[in-house]
Structure 1
Amino acid sequence: MTSIQTQVYFLCLIGHIYTTDTCYQPISLQPCGGRWLDSQLEFCCNNVPHSIDSNQCCCIDTISGTQVLHTKDQICCGGQLFNKTDSFGMDQNCCGPEVVRESDKTKMCCYPPTPKTTQSGPLPRLYHYHRDRYPFWENASCCSNSIIDKTTQKCCNNKINEITMDTSNWHCCNQTAYDDRSHYCDKGDPNNHTVKLYIIDHCDGIPFYKHLNTCCDGVLYPYHDKRNYECCGNQIRNLMTEQCCTESSRVISRSRLCCGSFPTGIDGATHVCCPHPRNSSEKLVLHKKAPQARQCCGYGVYNNDLEFCCMGKPYPRSDYQRCGETYLSPKTLLKYHFMSSN
């Protein structure tokens, strides 16, 4: 019998002994300044333990990358501490190394796409209203940490695009802006959306955009991807679940069989589709009396192993040998002549 040994270690922390092993270490224990602390009671800031009841916080200064201890009523901007509210009781926030009042409409802070947590990477930028430099201030917006004029520029995934004045028609396709009156965003490839020019076609004389509609024999449908759909006459079918009955240009389920003009086809397990004996352009749906009856004969179906069809009627092979101008019976050897008029 094989024995399993577990390595056990003992940690002595603040007068208490904690037991742990190589697979598990208590989550609440963290190293700080050369000793371990219980994070449920203390927090570590710049390698110095502090009590969680001290009304203090610790944050990483985005400018210097160092940890700064401050009270919960303060904010840390660029290595300096500021009150969360100014002398008028108005809320303040950091914009990089600067502090700005939230309600100050003469300033705008633009943030990079990813908040900076180390000394590398772009910083937020604070813009101040200037009549000559930013005459579009009322229409100003941010694009990453840059300021833009919304009436002539559009931000798409942190990239600035120049646009015309009619902004309501402009949209983003990945990082590219496009005017939906002349272009569209092709999303066929989910990993690579591209801007394409409209292609105009005609459907029974009616103009239409090929990326918005599909035309099937003069009938317009909402756009269907040709990789999964195709036209069947003036209908449209799903290539995976439906089939096209070419004789009638009808769409039916792949689980059924085409049969003339029958709109939903037939169930091949219980019925047979037969040509009409008097009208070749029509079809008959005949019920199978037995699973072996699979072939048509006039107004009925028959089992080819036991019967043969002659002049639109099934005859048992046990009684008749062949079909022609006469039928030969192996029992009576009598000949029956059938008039050609029949």
Structure 2
Amino acid sequence: MIAGLDQSRIRALFPGIAVSILVAVTAQFLAEHYGAPAMLMALLLGLTLNFLAEPGTRTATGVAFSAKTVLRLGVALLGARISVQMLAELGGPMIALVIAGVIVTILFALLAARLFGRGWRLALLTGGSVAICGASAAMAIAAVLPRTDKSDRNLAFTVLSVTILSTVAMVIYPPLSTALGFNPLESAVFLGGTIHDVAQVVGAGFSISPEVGETATLVKLIRVSMLAPVVLIFSLAIRAGGLGDLEPGAKRPPLLPSFVVGFLALATLNSLGVIPPALSSLAEGASRWALLIAIAAVGINTSLVRMLDVGGTAIALIVAETVLLGTFIVAGVHLLG
């Protein structure tokens, strides 16, 4: 009977998962051939297929599974890229600057959200995504926030916004770093410490030089390593502060989500040298595909009309967070220089 239930569950999930994978593959194809960010393409394509997430459709269950479970798998696999040795290579002052940028941006998001009349959930979602690693952080943070009827809309808006802002920064920040007179190390810290998504950091850094590209990627991974502690702190704060004002029947997020445990476990194993470089690279690729499939599913799950209802103040909030982070890192690089 259990086997029968498993087969029944698989049959229910398969159509939606297959659609999410198809959208992700199409997005990757467009990214490779037209230079557009794959995450952005997956989200936009998914939004056009919102009818596939309507209650009663064969794909609805699998799409919801992809948007949640596959997402958590992708975030956990990010840990295979992080190691203590990687952090030590950059030096104490620069690491402190990058970590301070993450903290200041999130605190600013909470303050600015109050000024803009937005809720704390959107503040943590947008602030964390800008401060840490764009779409990946947004999806990880969304997984520990108490669910509301606006959760998918806010996540789709945040992913769309940080991806667009990250792409704009990839084009604008390299010439800006030259105009500011930064040396290669300073340019790398500026790019890696401010651009939201890893792919755009790589593109911006290597557009200046291989040296800047490699160091900028390292700086960015330091921000990625902040994902687990930040998600844990958010979860503890929500629990301790009684902020989880859940809807009737909604589930309280766990204190330490399993995907955070997986992230930390893989980072620890990588630091100990247990994970071979080839396996780490494989995990990185699997993580990228899992997150791409998940964001495609998030797009399918989200009504474009409802997402546009998020309002101009939300756009102003995430732009203000981006400007704040950029200004903070530029000031810090000048002081350290």
TM range (shorter): under 0.3
More helix by share: 2
Higher relative contact order (CA 8 A, sep 6+): 2
Query: Structure 1 length as normaliser, TM-score?
Result: 0.15
Computing the radius of gyration from Cα coordinates, the structure with the larger value is 1
Query: Structure 2 length as normaliser, TM-score?
Result: 0.15
More strand by share: 1
